[in-house]
Structure 1
């Protein structure tokens, strides 16, 4: 992890708010996944962070891409991916996405029976299964729940596979992704067990794709072992789609203290908020907070508990609540950790706020996305 001094130097040099990534931690996360998921094809879930520099690193390391839009497909092509290195996922694919996926020779992940008639001729396909499980994450992240919009219900999977093959498609196997930031490894075991129930009806398969969704402190070895057992049931090759796990811990959002305010709560007002990190507001995500101001003995005795509020005129624009901190002053900098996934990727120009720069530490600082200006925001307006 980058040191306090390095983070402060980045804030001073590039300004705040600022997304900072540590190349060593990116490499370490991928190494952890590969150690656990041996003999597994990996496809990075690009939605977690689509920065081209990060994608190029993934591609150079032999990782493929899971894409859920035409824009993400274009990014995959930009960094040299194609064919069997690309998965096309999503519950509502457009005609453009079907056409581009076919042109590239990508593998489609079918999300509903209707897609059998929408696919380009002779497509390579996996069927996404909804195992109807309640899992240990926020409702907005529970993609394998029975009430979610994702996947084919378990009982309908054999018919969809048969229909795909009858239509001339290459129905290669099954796909399951039960959610994101899953805390309990037994949730994955339950999902894989539900999939295994399909073996008598679908026979042997070429591929079993077990998605991703592991929390940063997950028992990867245990999850991988369960996944391998499920793949063996079908005689299938194992695929996986890590997203947040590969990039979240490598990223930090730096923000400067604008001031303090006391109402019924003690607030630290920041120059970053929901436009830079919407996860806390969107689904209650908790990001560790690291104060970067001097923490002398005297300061540590003057610790308070604060809510960290952003600049938007929205009551929900709070990045963290009840955080114990040495009392800050205007101009102090703090770091919101585990922000490498769905930070920059979900940032917005709400309130005509320019999106922050992104910088990478790889022995030296590299700007991998320039800070926007208001002029770049309104350049396409007429």
Structure 2
């Protein structure tokens, strides 16, 4: 955990809003995954946080990357990943993404039947199965639900595997990913059981990729036991794709108090909002909020950002000491889908990022300027 004094130092040095990451927690999260899943190959779901410094740390630790866009494939290549350390996923891959993945020797995750004919010749592939389950997460995060856009049905999977082999591709195995921020291990058990039901129709598998989606505080050893049991049914190697789990707890968004007001509710106004942290508005996500000024709890506040949007709230009903103008708030569990989903809406430059490592701060992304935001609009008249 980063000391409060160090957080204050970072805010003073780099300004706010500011994303900071704890290197020791990044390492600890990866350690928990490897301890639970044993020899499983770990692929980091890059969409959670694609900062190049974090990617280089993971690459050096032997972690592969799951990429869902051409830009993410380019980032994987930039940090030196290739071959069996790169997965290319997504329901609507573009021609350039197939080409980029093939150049790196990546494994493709086939998301629909017609994709078999779109793969580069001689590709390695997994078939993504949608187990059609109701899971304990927000609807927008439930990728394994019957109504989601992802994967093929269990009934279609054997035929897609055969079609891959008939087309000269290497059909490695099956893939499943049921969503994100899921804490109930029973959801994963149900998904893995749905895959196991496909045996022996698809008995010749080399790989079972069980995705990720484990929420902070999930029973990782229990989930891992279920995953290993499913893989053993097929005699397959186990792959996992954690994203949020590896980076969420390591990241904190620092924001300063701008002011306060009371209308129908008490609002604490801050210099960060939906443009820096969209998850509360998009998913109803709840992030822990800590005041870094002293004082006894003096009331509850809705923490609100500067955007002209009623939904621009970082948290509701937060118990805080009496507000201090310029006081610093730490928004926790913000390392995943915080900086990566930040935007320049309202021409708000995206925040800087810094890494706490060995008792020192290391800047890993500079703060944008308004000129950065409009740079791509220049010289086109």
Q: TM-score, normalised by structure 1?
A: 0.98
Query: Paired residue for 2:315?
Result: 320
Asked if the contact 2:183/2:219 (under 8 Å) is kept, the reply is no
Is 2:351 the counterpart of 1:356?
yes
Structure 2: runs of 5+ lacking an equivalent: none
Query: Paired residue for 1:377?
Result: 373
**Cα deviations by residue, 1:268-300 (Å, 9 ceiling, x for unpaired):** 0010000000000001110000110112xxx33
Query: Paired residue for 1:292?
Result: 292
Please list, as runs of the form range in 1=range in 2, the aligned pairs for 1:265-284 lying within 5 A after superposition: 265-284=265-284
Question: Aligned pair count?
Answer: 377
**Cα deviations by residue, 1:241-288 (Å, 9 ceiling, x for unpaired):** 010000000000000000001011100001000000000000111000
For 1:101 and 1:372, how far apart are their aligned partners in 2? 30
Q: TM-score, normalised by structure 2?
A: 0.98
Is 2:37 the counterpart of 1:37?
yes
Where 1:155 maps in the other structure, the secondary structure is coil
For 2:204 and 2:189, how far apart are their aligned partners in 1? 20
Is 2:328 the counterpart of 1:333?
yes
For 1:58 and 1:183, how far apart are their aligned partners in 2? 24
For 2:117 and 2:29, how far apart are their aligned partners in 1? 39
For 2:302 and 2:294, how far apart are their aligned partners in 1? 20
Query: Paired residue for 2:116?
Result: 116
Is 2:152 the counterpart of 1:152?
yes
Asked if the contact 2:175/2:209 (under 8 Å) is kept, the reply is yes
Instruction: For residue 204 of structure 1, report the CA deviation from its aligned partner.
Output: 2.6
Q: Return the match for 1:347 from 342, 345, 354.
A: 342
**Alignment root-mean-square deviation, CA:** 0.7
Please list, as runs of the form range in 1=range in 2, the aligned pairs for 1:24-63 lying within 5 A after superposition: 24-63=24-63
Where 2:103 maps in the other structure, the secondary structure is helix
Structure 1: runs of 5+ lacking an equivalent: none
For 2:99 and 2:376, how far apart are their aligned partners in 1? 27
Instruction: For residue 321 of structure 1, report the CA deviation from its aligned partner.
Output: 0.6
Segments of 4+ moved more than 4 angstroms: none
For 1:376 and 1:224, how far apart are their aligned partners in 2? 44
Asked if the contact 2:353/2:363 (under 8 Å) is kept, the reply is yes
Q: Return the match for 1:365 from 358, 361, 368.
A: 361
For 2:375 and 2:318, how far apart are their aligned partners in 1? 39
For 1:160 and 1:30, how far apart are their aligned partners in 2? 33
